[in-house]
Amino acid sequence: MDYKKSGVDIEAGYKAVELMKEHVKRTMRPEVLGGLGGFSGAFSLSKIKEMEEPVLLSGTDGCGTKVKLAMIMDKHDTIGIDAVAMCVNDIACAGGEPLFFLDYIACGKNYPEKIASIVSGVAEGCLQSEAALIGGETAEHPGLMPAEDYDLAGFAVGVCDKKDMITGESLKDGDVLIGMASSGVHSNGFSLVRKVFEMTKESLDTYYEELGATLGETLLTPTRIYVKALKSVKKAGITIKACSHITGGGFYENIPRMLKDGMHAVVKKDSYPIPPIFTKLKREGNVGEHAMYNTYNMGLGMIVAVDPADVDKALEAVKAAGDTPYVVGYIKAGEKGVTLC
C-alpha cells in the first residue's frame, strides 16, 4: 500500500505544477520575489512606502456552484477568471489596487491537464486585474469528492492609501449613480440557475437566438473585472464617493452597503439594457421581479457614486478602460436603503 493506491497521486501533482508554470509566469509583477513552488509566496512592499498611510485590503471568495457548469461542459479555462474577479472586484470597490492572488483547488482526483486549464483562467483573471499569481494549492480529496469534481476558491491582497479609501462618508443628496455593465450572471445565484435550466450537456449546448449563443456559453461567461475601470476613474482625478460590487444579494443587499446613514439610493430600472439571459431566467423559472433584483446583478456588476459635476468625465474614464457605463440613478437624503423604480 502506498499514497497513490489510497487515491492521492503525488506525481500527478508535480506534473500539474509544471504545466501551470507557463500560465503563472504571465502574471508576474516586479514586486514578486522567488518563483513558484516554495512554501510561501513572497511579495515586496517597497512601493507602499510612497503612501502616506498604506492600508492592506483583502478578499476571499469562490465561484459557487458555477463550477458545476464547467464540469458538465468540460470547459475549465475560464472559471478561474471568476474566482479572481470575485476577490479583486471587492478590493477595488474599497479603493484598493490588487497586488497578488492565491488559488485553492480541491479535487476528487488530480488530472494535471485539467488543473492546468483551471489555473490558466486564474492567470488570465490576474492579468486583467494586474495582480500577481504568487502561489496556490491543489488538494486531492479521494473519498470526499467524486473523481471528476472540483471546487475553486481564492484569496487576494491589495493596498490603498487611507486617504483614497472609498467609504461612502462624503455622500450627499444629489450625487449621481453610474453603473458598469456586467458580462452576464457572473458568479452568483447559480443554485437557482441550475434549478431553472436543465443541467445536461445537450441542454447547455443548445443555441438560442435571443442569447446569440448557446445557453452554456452564456452562463459560463466569466465575471467582469472592474479594476482597470475604477483605476481609470481615479486617474482622471475623480473622487468615487461610494462603490458597490453587485454580487450575491443583488441590488437590495449590496447597494445599501455603500451608503452611510441618512443616505438613500434610487435606481431606475429602465436606465440601462438588461441582458437577455436574465429575461429568459425570469420567464422560464417564473421568478418574481423582486427576487431577481435580490439575487442577480441584472446587468450591472459595479455601481459608483460621484458628484454631479464629475459625471461626464467619469463616463469617459470608464469607457476608456473598455467598460460600458450608464447613469442609473441618484442619492437622496433619507433612510439608508435602496429604491428601484
pLDDT at 261: 97
pLDDT at 91: 98
45-55: per-residue pLDDT in tens? Answer: 888 888 999 99
Q: What is the pTM of this model?
A: 0.94
Q: How confident is the model at residue 288 (pLDDT cuts 50, 70, 90)?
A: very high
* Residue 263 scores a pLDDT above 80: yes
Residues pairing with 266 in the sheet: 330, 339
Which long-range contacts (C-beta less than 8 Å, at least 24 apart) are formed by 9-18? Answer: 9/109, 9/110, 9/140, 12/110, 12/111, 12/112, 13/110, 13/138, 13/140, 15/112, 16/110, 16/112, 16/115, 16/116, 16/138
187-246: per-residue pLDDT in tens? Answer: 999 999 999 999 999 999 999 999 999 999 999 999 999 999 999 999 999 999 999 999
pLDDT at 250: 97
Strand 263-267 and strand 337-340: the pairing is: parallel
Q: To 5 degrees, how large is the angle CA 249–CA 267–CA 241?
A: 85
* Residue 5 scores a pLDDT above 60: no
Distance of CA 190 to the CA centre of its chain: 14
User: In angstroms, what is the C-alpha Rg of the chain?
Assistant: 21
CA 45 to each of CA 2, 100, 122, 158, 165: distance values in angstroms, whole numbers, following the listed order: 43, 11, 23, 11, 19
Which position has the grid cell 494549492? 137
pLDDT at 15: 79
Q: How confident is the model at residue 182 (pLDDT cuts 50, 70, 90)?
A: very high
pLDDT at 145: 93
Q: Give the span between the Cα atoms of 93 and 177, in whole angstroms.
A: 14
